[in-house]
Amino acid sequence: MLTATDLRRALEAIRESAPVHAEDEVGSTNTLALELAAAGAPEWTLVSAAHQTRGRGRLDRTWVDVPAGAVMCSVILRPTLEPARAGLLALLAGAALAQAIRRTTGAKATCKWPNDVLVGDGKVAGVLSESVVADGRLSCVVVGFGVNVRAPDGVANAAALGSVEPGALLRGFLEGFHDVYVLGEPDVADRVKAVWLPVNSTIGREVEVTVTSGDVVRGRAVGLDRFGGLLLSTDDGEQTVSFGELTHLG
């Protein structure tokens, strides 16, 4: 869906210069981007694909796309953030993607914590952020996204935009992401909250989160902490969930 010209024009829109890789088919754009980063590829290197054969999501899940029916791209970042704050970049990416979808299609896209983008109750897009830490510092972060133009068969709750101009969507995403990202520390958490909260569909709702231990935490989502964790008001008091699978209950 995305061409090399689309990728170059998107970088020009944010006044950045980096290599671009527009592929017909890859295993995973994130996997290829991580390989390029390990080989020294600079920040803002972009990798896109018309189809992924081994697309990946959070929690070791598979991302399934319709060939030539999704907009998929990954970007290499080399942030100065402390590793514990890398999760903020996934939230920022989700907010930037939701806003780009709104501007390019008119669909009221929202962010479901931590990385899903919804239209109504259907998932139209997802974000996968992967970090490489060396000597206690972030060596790189690869942020990838996939947006359904056509919904894949057999995927529960999958939704689709129907139509979108891929280059405009990518430009909108990068512009929204870049504006917040390049300012760096020390106020990155506040800036991410400022763009994520207005487009989110989680805060204020009763939710259930299955954490990595398998335990389930239920409560009302009331905010974000400074690392991107979700603050829940539960029967046992306020709890923070940093990672897990969330279900909206009401």
The tens-digit pLDDT sequence of the chain (250 residues) is: 899 999 999 999 999 999 999 999 999 999 999 999 999 999 999 999 999 998 766 656 677 888 899 999 999 999 999 999 999 999 999 999 999 999 999 999 999 999 999 999 999 999 999 999 988 899 999 999 999 999 988 888 899 999 899 999 999 999 999 999 998 778 899 999 999 999 999 999 999 999 878 889 999 999 999 999 999 999 888 999 988 888 898 7
Torsion of CA 10, 15, 18, 21, to 10 degrees: 0
Residue 39 and residue 143 share a domain: yes
Of residues 22, 25, 68, the one with CA closest to residue 45? 22
Residues 224 and 190 in one domain: no
Domain count along the chain: 2
One domain for residues 136 and 224: no
Query: What is the pTM (predicted TM-score) of this model?
Result: 0.94
**Dihedral of alpha carbons 181, 42, 86, 46, sign:** positive
CATH of residue 163: 3.30.930.10
For 78-101, letters b (16+ CB in 10 Å) and e give ebebebebbbbbbbbbbbbbbbbb
Same domain flag for 220 and 109: no
Question: Could you tell me the strand order of the sheet in which 245-248 lies?
Answer: 237-241, 230-234, 216-224, 206-210, 245-248
Q: What letters, b where the CB count within 10 A reaches 16 and e where it falls short, cover 126-154?
A: bbbbbbbeeeeebebbbbbbbbbbbbeee
Range of the domain at 239: 206-248
220: domain CATH number is 2.30.30.100
